[in-house]
Amino acid sequence: MKLHTLGMNYHHSSDFLIDRPNGSGDDLLVIFKTAAIIKLNNNIEHISSDSAVIYPAGLRQYYGADGCEYMNHWVHFELSDRAFAERIGLPFNTVIPINDVSAAEHYLELLSVESVSESRNSEEICGLLLRLLLSKLAESADMQIGAASQHSSALRELRASIRRNPAGSRSIDAIARELSLSPSHFQYLYKKEFGISCYEDILSARLDMAKYYLRSTSLTIRQIAELCGYENDVHFIRQFKKRMEITAGEYRKQN
């Protein structure tokens, strides 16, 4: 994975058009910040802003303004690892509506800064950032074809917050209210999205935190129970043994 060049927030007039019959000689990612026209498989399409297209090397690149001022980001790169593209389900020559364009732009900004760095690891870091950016775009494509619910973004943020701070997790009813969902519908969506119930996910996150403290600190069982959000150490001890099949003290000794 090698970065060639990139540009962000390039402005053009309403008659701007790119037409490269044989491509640009490398792989190209274009993120459209305004409405645009694009030709795919000999068909002209009108697409909305915050969309992207990835052109593989050698394929025609045809895109431009849709009758108004035009702006885009672009990245020319070499995707030598096609197995990676297949593994993440990266869609080529397809319009990708981006569900979180600010995140994509954040990765582009990091890539832009690293591309001019004189660090000896700069090329390696650019390759990793490219992989991250393309992986997020593949994820956006999945979400648009129905792999996730319309609440997917909020659910993912919720799960991240649970993993960051499982001790501070609220009740299922409280979480559902925050998302303007009924508790039953919230639980259905959460399990559909992640393959596990929210309640089980919270318990799993608390258990992981407890195991970390048992392995790496000399805190007492009672202190760990409190830090992990358990009502008391008795409840924690029961839950730990039920899930790990050994006591917290035995786990600490073994690890």
Q: Which domains does the chain have, with CATH numbers?
A: 2-147 (2.60.120.280), 152-254 (1.10.10.60)
Containing H/E element for 12?
Answer: strand 2-12
- Dist. CA 12–CA 100, nearest whole Å: 24
Contacts of 222 by beta carbon, 8 Å cutoff, 6+ apart: 233
State both tokens at 68: 């108004």
**Which one-letter DSSP state was computed for residue 255?**
-
Residue 144, pLDDT score: 58
What are the φ and ψ backbone dihedral angles of 132, each rounded to 5 degrees?
A: -65, -45
Q: What is the pLDDT of residue 124?
A: 94
3-55 tens-digit pLDDT: 999 999 999 999 999 999 999 999 999 999 999 999 988 889 999 899 999 99
Determine the pLDDT at residue 182.
84
Q: Which residues of 166-195 are buried (b: 16+ CB within 10 A; e: fewer)?
A: beebeebeebbeeeebeeeebbebbeebee
> Residue 187 pLDDT more than 90?
no
Give the per-residue pLDDT at 191.
86
Query: In this predicted structure, what is the pLDDT of residue 70?
Result: 95
pLDDT confidence of residue 150:
66
Q: Where are the beta strands (DSSP E) in 13-88?
A: 17-20, 27-32, 36-40, 43-47, 51-55, 61-65, 70-78
- The predicted pLDDT at position 149 comes to 53
pLDDT digits (tens, 9 = 90+) for 70-107: 999 999 999 988 899 989 888 999 999 887 888 899 99
Q: What is the pLDDT of residue 147?
A: 42
What pLDDT digit, counting tens, does each position of 116-174 carry?
A: 998 899 999 999 999 999 999 988 877 654 444 567 778 888 999 998 888 887 788 88
**Higher pLDDT residue, 36 or 182?**
36
Per cent of the chain over pLDDT 90 is 60
